[in-house]
Amino acid sequence: MRLNQLVLRNFRNYVDCEIDFKDGVNLIVGENAQGKTTLLEAIYFLSTAKSHRTYLDDELIRYNESWFYLKGAFVPAISGEEARREAAAVNLMTVEVSNELNGKKRFKLNGTLQKKLSQWIGQFNVVFFSPESLALVKGAPADRRRFVDRLISQISAAYLHHLQNYQFALKQRNELLKQIRSKGASVELLDAWDDLLVADGIALIQARAKVLAQLKVHTQAKHADLTGDSEKLDLTYQPLLDGADRAMASDMDDQFRRALQSSRHFDIRRGTTSVGPHRDDFKLVLEARSAGTVYRQEARSFGSQGQQRTIALALKLGELELLREETEETPVVLLDDVFSELDEARSAFLFELLRRLNAQTFITSTRQEVWTPDLGDCCVFTVQDGKVR
């Protein structure tokens, strides 16, 4: 599927804008603060119902306005100019979202209002790469968890459902812990919330173990391509429950329940839940050879800037491959300001790969010259003050 048309109304600095995009590479050029990233943000929002840079949907509403509206129209991805022109006349799918200030988001699929987010989300998949993607390597566990959660949610509506249930049960349990501490609520009440955390939590752990194992294979392959086999990357799931990634569901059930039990007093004192998949992480270890010795070091603290950037890119490309494998469709690729991030060799590798996959790609840059003819064809869009030419 290919994004054929994007409509933005009152979205950040866009008032009312309609853009017709092309297959292949769409290069979005403009000075700073003109609205380049905002275009990618809009596409990302249509896929995930979230912004990549803020939790607050109301921030996306144009100043002094009370709502925003986005629409994406998709056509089949067909190569060949003639077939494409024919197909372009027919929309395969339209995805719409609107958000009112202090109100609710409303989602439409092919013109019909969708009550459940899980029935709207992930109609098309995106991979977003920007300088901030470096947080996957350098950032806190929460950054990596968010990446994994969004990735699996794109593949499985059931995962999103378990995640939402888990997070809500966790909130309730944490509140109960505080009430036990301060208001003498009964400790027994924790049992019910523990049961819920265990049921949904184990579904999360199992899905993460499975997907991270797949992601590891893809990421390692891409990392090897990028570094020419001189370094080896290892990615390991670190469930807070020890060995939970390998255990059977029934054992895990027991283990999680016992862990919650034994941390109860500690949890009550702190007023928050200290064990469970909401504390999970994955570890990136780099194996490098130097002066005949093999070093295994955590990329987060020991990797050089360049090594960390390569790993971040490899993870994103791993995500791309994984989404392709799981959904049998090439995701839309969003590259924000990557030329400042990647050297020539890595850029060339990246674009060669995207061309081979025939991925519809959106690239932002302040300078059109970064795109050299040897990188292939591209269609240029110029952004100025929330208007696109």
Partner 1 sequence: MLYYPEPLARVISELQKLPTIGPKTAQRLAFFLLRMPESETTKLVQAISDVKTLLSYCDICGNITDRSPCYICTDPERDLQTICVIEDPDDLLAIERTKEYNGLYHALMGVLSPLDGVGPNDLRIDPLFERIRNENIKEVILATNYTTEGQATALYLTKRLENAGIVITRIAYGIPVGGDLEYIDEVTLAKALEGRRRV
Ligand X SMILES: Nc1ncnc2c1ncn2[C@@H]1O[C@H](COP(=O)(O)OP(=O)(O)OP(=O)(O)O)[C@@H](O)[C@H]1O
Calpha distance 353→358 (Å, rounded): 9
- Smallest separation (angstroms) from partner 1 to the CB of 210: 16
CB of 380 to partner 1, least distance (A): 41
State how far the Cα of 171 lies from the Cα of 74, in Å rounded to an integer: 38
Smallest gap from residue 64 Cβ to ligand X (A): 8
CA distance 297 to 278: 25
For residues 66 and 372, which CB has a smaller minimum distance to partner 1 in the complex?
Answer: 66
Among partner 1, ligand X, Mg ion, none, partner that 12 touches (CB below 5 to 8 angstroms by kind):
ligand X
Among 1, 2, 7, 12, binds ligand X (CB under 6 A): 12
Q: From Mg ion, ligand X, partner 1, none, which one binds at residue 161 (CB under 5 to 8 Å depending on kind)?
A: partner 1
* Site residues, partner 1 (CB under 8 A): 116, 118-119, 156-158, 161, 165, 168-169, 171-173, 175-176, 179, 185-186, 188-189, 191-193, 195-196
Nearer to ligand X, 55 or 63 (CB): 63
Answer for the pair 201, 166: CB distance below 8 angstroms, yes or no.
Answer: yes
When binding is defined by CB under 6 A, the residue of 5, 13, 179, 214 that contacts ligand X is 13
Comparison of 68 and 193: residue with beta carbon closer to partner 1: 193
Residue nearer to partner 1 on the CB measure, 165 or 327:
165
Binding status of residue 37 toward Mg ion by CB under 5 A = yes
Spatial contact of 179 and 185, defined as CB atoms under 8 Å apart: yes
Residue of closest CB approach to Mg ion: 37
Least distance (Å) between residue 176 CB and partner 1? 4
Nearest distance from C-beta of residue 208 to partner 1, angstroms: 18
With CB under 6 A as the contact rule, the residue among 34, 47, 99, 310 that binds ligand X is 34
Taking CB within 5 to 8 Å according to partner kind, which of Mg ion, partner 1, ligand X, none is near residue 34?
A: ligand X
Q: Is 38 in the site for Mg ion (CB under 5 A)?
A: no
Q: Shortest gap between Cβ of 322 and ligand X (angstroms)?
A: 28
For the chain, the farthest-separated pair of C-alpha atoms sits apart, in whole angstroms, at: 73
State in angstroms the smallest separation of the CB of 358 from partner 1: 29
Which of ligand X, Mg ion, partner 1, none interacts with 195 (beta carbon under 5 to 8 A by kind)? partner 1
- First-to-last alpha carbon distance for the chain, in angstroms, is 24
* Residue (of 280, 350, 278, 348) closest to 312 by Cα position: 350
Distance CA 153, CA 122 (A): 8
Count of other CB atoms within 10 angstroms of residue 288: 17
- Binders of ligand X among 322-381, rule CB under 6 A? 366
Of 85, 109, 86, the C-alpha closest to 97 is 109
Q: Is 133 in the site for Mg ion (CB under 5 A)?
A: no
List the interface residues with ligand X, window 53-72 (CB under 6 A).
59, 61-63
Q: How far is the CB of 194 from partner 1 (least distance, A)?
A: 9
Binding site for ligand X (CB under 6 A): 12-13, 30, 32-38, 59, 61-63, 366
Binding site for Mg ion (CB under 5 A): 37
